Amino acid sequence: MWLNGVITDLGTLGGANSAGNLVNERGMIAGDTQTSAVDPLGENWGLLFTCTPAGVSCQGYQNLTRAFLWHNGVMTPLPTLGGDNSFSAGDALNNLGQVVGFAETSTQYPNCIAPQVLDWEAVVWEPKNGKVHELPPFPGDSIGAGLAINDKGQVVGTSGICAFPSFADGVHAVLCENGSVTDLGSLGGVTNNDATAINNRGQVVGFSDLAGDATGHAFLWQHGIMTDLGTLPGDYFSFAWGINNKGQVIAQSCDINFNCRATLWQHGVMTDLNTLTPPDSLYLVFASDINDRGEITGQGFDPETGYTLAFLAIPCDEKHATVEGCKDLATDATAAPDEASKRPKVILPENVRKQLQQRRGFRNFGAGLMRPQ
């Protein structure tokens, strides 16, 4: 956790790795951690912590993984549905303290694709009593995953085939509310259909394959209509990861080789965030979330050192006029200095492109029902 320039280690539940996904206005953090126990079925959900296929760059990849809720210095594991592993992802936490994700049941599902053995389903964890509530998949699908929840308790995610957890498992992007599951539709493809965020206005973003499943685009769903948000010029596919209550969408646009750029979509236009930053700043490759003040978090790349670093991007508007670095810039949040707007696209090193590819759960497009690495 970063707070006032200080970084705090949230710890783990005995394993080597943990990751915080989202913090709410009450200071609660949802995330995932490894435990000290080894997965008895060899499913290796620890590979979800951006590991190589063989796990050589991720210590403890064979250990069990549990979703957690962290508050006031205490990390509390969230229960499964009787199985071994659970996971939260994306905008998994609302201001009521409800957490969404997916958890394994005790059922060994015979049609799961190896190495997955147990069935897993979408869940909501309640903060007051610690209970877990299972959400149904779309009729005809095997599994479901909750990826985001708003303050009204509306849950969005994906529903599809039983396999090692991956966005590629998503046959249907779905909305769950009042005990019912709604298929949000698709952009023409049959897989990689995932809803990743929902705001309090009920607007949903995510990504969906186009017809033929050779590529996919970010989408915005509202009032029953799914809109293709497209890509930046010259790019091949895109993903939307967050939306605030003003309808601003943060996304990622990539070429066919996974050279990606963090983007902001608003007023019908997708903008490369790197055209809004000084030319000597971090190159922004992945935007993960945006709040109602327009502040964006994500991951950037430093071309000089080769490091990937977390970033906080602050719009230089009237709300941030006193922020260091903003004082001499235009107050219009969409205005960019001339030199920044000419900033060239960066070709990322192979290890960074593979990392981006792995953490999203994709291997490549054009492979039908894709399997994760």
**DSSP states along 120-133:** EEEEEE-TTT--EE
Is the N-terminal amide bond of 115 cis, ω within 30° of 0? Answer: yes
Give, for all 373 residues of the chain, the pLDDT tens digit: 999 889 999 999 999 999 999 999 999 999 999 999 999 999 999 888 876 655 456 788 899 999 999 999 999 999 999 999 999 988 999 999 999 999 999 999 999 999 999 999 999 999 877 799 999 999 999 999 999 999 999 999 999 999 999 998 899 999 999 989 999 999 999 999 999 999 999 999 999 999 999 999 999 999 999 999 999 999 999 999 999 999 999 999 999 999 999 999 999 999 999 999 988 899 999 999 999 999 999 999 999 999 999 999 999 888 898 888 786 554 444 444 454 456 788 999 998 888 777 665 544 333 333 333 3
CB 313 within 8 A of CB 325: no
What CA–CA distance (Å, rounded) separates 53 from 358? 9
Q: Compute CA distances 325 → 102, 286, 318, 328, 333, whole Å.
A: 41, 22, 13, 7, 13
Nearest to 98 by CA among 190, 233, 198: 198
Neighbour-count burial of 77, counting CB atoms closer than 10 A to its CB (0-12 exposed, 13-18 middle, 19+ buried): middle
How far does the chain reach from its first CA to its final CA, in angstroms? Answer: 29
CB 93 within 8 A of CB 28: yes
In this structure, the number of other CB atoms found within 10 A of the CB of residue 323 comes to 13
CB 99 within 8 A of CB 69: yes
What CA–CA distance (Å, rounded) separates 174 from 195? 7
| Exposure b/e, 37-53, CB count within 10 A at least 16 = b | eebeeebbbbbbbebee
Both tokens of residue 171?
């046959």
CB 370 within 8 A of CB 171: no
What CA–CA distance (Å, rounded) separates 36 from 102? 20
Both tokens of residue 86?
């659970």
DSSP secondary structure of 312-366 = EE---SGGGTTSTTTTTS-S-TT---HHHHTPPPP---HHHHHHHHHHTT-S-SS
Q: Compute CA distances 258 → 47, 272, 284, whole Å.
A: 20, 15, 14
What CA–CA distance (Å, rounded) separates 371 from 356? 16
371 alpha carbon, distance to own chain's centre: 18
DSSP secondary structure of 31-86 = EEEEEEEE-TT---GGGGTT--TT-TTSTTTTEEEEEEEEETTEEEEPP-BEEEEE
Residues 6+ apart with CB under 8 A from 98: 124, 125, 126, 127, 149, 153
CB 250 within 8 A of CB 241: yes
